[in-house]
A and B are shown apart, each in its own frame.
Chain A
Amino acid sequence: MFKLIPRENVSPVLSLLGPLFSVGLTMIVGGILFYFLGVDPFAAIKMIFWDPLMSETFSTYSIPQIFIKGAPLILIALGLSVGFKANVWNIGAEGQYIMGAIFGASFALSLYPLESIVIFPAMILIGVIGGCLWSMIPAFLKVKFQVNEILVSLMLVYVAEQILALASLGFLRNPDGAGFPGSRNLNQYTSASNAEIIAGTGIHLGVLLSLLLVIFFYVLLFRHSLGFKIKLLGNSPKASGFSGDNPNKLIFLCLTLSGSLAGLAGIMEVAGPAGQINIDFNVGYGFTAIIVAFLGRLNPIGIFFAGIVMALTYVGGELTQFMLNLPAAAIQVFQGMLLFFLLSFDLFVHYKIKLKGNK
Chain B
Amino acid sequence: MRQFMKYFSASFLFISMVITSSIAIAADYKVGFIYIGPPGDHGWNYQHDVGRKAVDEAFGDKVETVFQENVPESADAERVMTQMALSGADMIFATSFGYMEPVLNVAKKFPKVKFEHATGYMTADNVSTYSARFYEGRTVAGHIAGKMTKSNTIGYVASYPIPEVVRGINSAYLAAKKANPNVEFKVIWIFTWYDPAKEADAAKTLISQGADVILQHVDSSAIMTVAEEAGVYAFGQASDMSAFGPNAHLTAIINGWAPYYVKKVKQGMDGTWKGAEQTFDGIGAGMVIIGPLSDKIPDSVKKEAMEIRDGIASGTLHSFTGPINKQDGSPWLKAGETADMGTLLGMNFYVEGIEGDIPQ
CB distance from A31 to the nearest CB of B (A): 7
**B72–A21 contact, CB under 8 A?**
no
B297 CB within 8 Å of chain A: no
**Contact among A179, A318, A322 with B347 in the assembled complex (CB-CB below 8 Å):** A179
Residues of B near A115 (CB, < 8 A) are none
In the complex, number of A-B residue pairs with CB atoms less than 8 Å apart = 141
Complex CA gap A151/B68 in Å reads 34
Chain B residues contacting A325 (CB-CB under 8 Å) are 66
B21 touches A57 (CB 8 A): no
Asked if B11 and A61 make an inter-chain contact with CB atoms under 8 angstroms apart, the answer reads: no
Residues 41-78 of A contacting B (Cβ, < 8 Å): 42-43, 45-47, 49-50, 57-58, 61-62, 65, 68-69
Contacting A181 at CB < 8 Å: which of B25, B69, B160?
B160
Secondary structure dominating the interface of A: helix
Is A318 in contact with B83, judged by CB distance below 8 angstroms? Answer: yes
B359 adjacent to chain A (CB < 8 Å): yes
Contact check, B160 vs A318: say whether CB atoms are below 8 A apart.
no
Residue among B11, B15, B162 making CB contact with A180, cutoff 8 Å:
B162
- CA of A280 to CA of B67, assembled, Å: 21
The chain B residue sitting closest to A182, CB to CB, is: B98
Asked if residues A169 and B360 are in contact (CB atoms below 8 Å), the reply is: yes
Taking a contact as CB atoms under 8 Å apart, the answer to whether B4 and A21 are in contact is yes
Residues facing B in A166-189 (CB within 8 A) are 169-170, 173, 178-182, 185
Known contacts A17-B4, A28-B11, A169-B359: does B98 contact A46 (CB below 8 Å)?
A: no
Q: Flag if B11 contacts A25 (CB, 8 Å).
A: yes
Q: Is the CB–CB distance between A319 and B21 below 8 Å?
A: no
Whether B23 and A178, one on each chain, are in contact in the complex, defined by CB atoms closer than 8 angstroms, is: no
Question: Does B348 touch A at the CB level, under 8 Å?
Answer: yes
In the complex, the answer to whether A24 meets B82 with C-beta atoms within 8 Å is no
By a CB distance below 8 angstroms, the chain B residues around A69 are 79
User: In the assembled complex, how far is the CB of residue B66 from the closest CB belonging to chain A, in whole angstroms?
Assistant: 4
Q: Of A180, A318, A321, A323, which is in contact with the most chain B CB atoms at under 10 Å from its CB? A: A180
Contact of B83 among A43, A45, A68, A319 (CB under 8 A): A319
Q: Does A152 contact B (CB under 8 A)?
A: no
**Contact: B83 with A17, CB < 8 Å?**
no
A243 and B332 alpha carbons, distance in the complex (Å) = 75
- Contact of B72 with A179 in the complex, beta carbons under 8 Å: no
B1-28 contacts to A (CB < 8 Å): 1, 4, 7-8, 10-12, 14-15, 17-19, 21-23, 25
Chain A contact-residue range equals 35 or more
In the bound complex, what is the Cα–Cα distance between A169 and B358 (angstroms)? 10
B33-70 CB contact bits vs A (8 Å, 1 = yes)? 00000100000000000000000000000000011111
Question: Interface with B: A139-147, A269-277, A350-358, which one?
Answer: A269-277
The answer, among A40, A180, A318, for a CB contact under 8 Å with B80, is A318
CB-CB under 8 A for A47 and B23, given A24-B11, A25-B11, A180-B162: yes
Contact A46 B101, beta carbon cutoff 8 Å: no
Residue of A68, A69, A179 ringed by the most chain B CB atoms within 10 A: A179
B121-A178 in contact (CB<8A): yes
Q: Contacts A279-B160, A318-B83: A27 and B11 contacting too (C-beta < 8 A)?
A: yes
Q: Nearest B residue to A13 by beta-carbon distance?
A: B1
Asked whether B285 is an interface residue with its Cβ less than 8 Å from the other chain, the reply is: no
Given contacts A65-B79, A179-B346, whether A17 and B8 have CB atoms under 8 Å apart is yes
B163 touches A328 (CB 8 A): no
List B contacts of A47 (CB < 8 A): 23
Q: Which of A322-356 contact B (CB under 8 A)?
A: 322-325, 327-329
The reply to whether A323 and B66 contact each other, CB–CB distance below 8 Å, is: yes
A321 and B75 contact, Cβ closer than 8 Å, known pairs A31-B14, A180-B163, A181-B162: no
Q: A179-B163, A276-B101 are in contact. List 4 more A-B contacts (CB 8 A).
A: A68-B75, A279-B191, A323-B87, A328-B70
Give 7 closest A-B pairs by Cβ, nearest first: A24-B11, A273-B75, A42-B21, A179-B348, A328-B70, A322-B66, A45-B18
Q: Which residues of B contact A (CB under 8 A)?
A: 1, 4, 7-8, 10-12, 14-15, 17-19, 21-23, 25, 32, 38, 66-70, 72-76, 78-80, 82-84, 86-88, 97-98, 101, 121, 160-163, 191, 345-348, 359-360
| 13 A-B contact pairs sorted by A residue (CB < 8 Å) | A14-B1, A21-B7, A21-B11, A24-B10, A45-B14, A49-B15, A61-B82, A169-B161, A170-B360, A278-B98, A279-B191, A318-B79, A323-B66
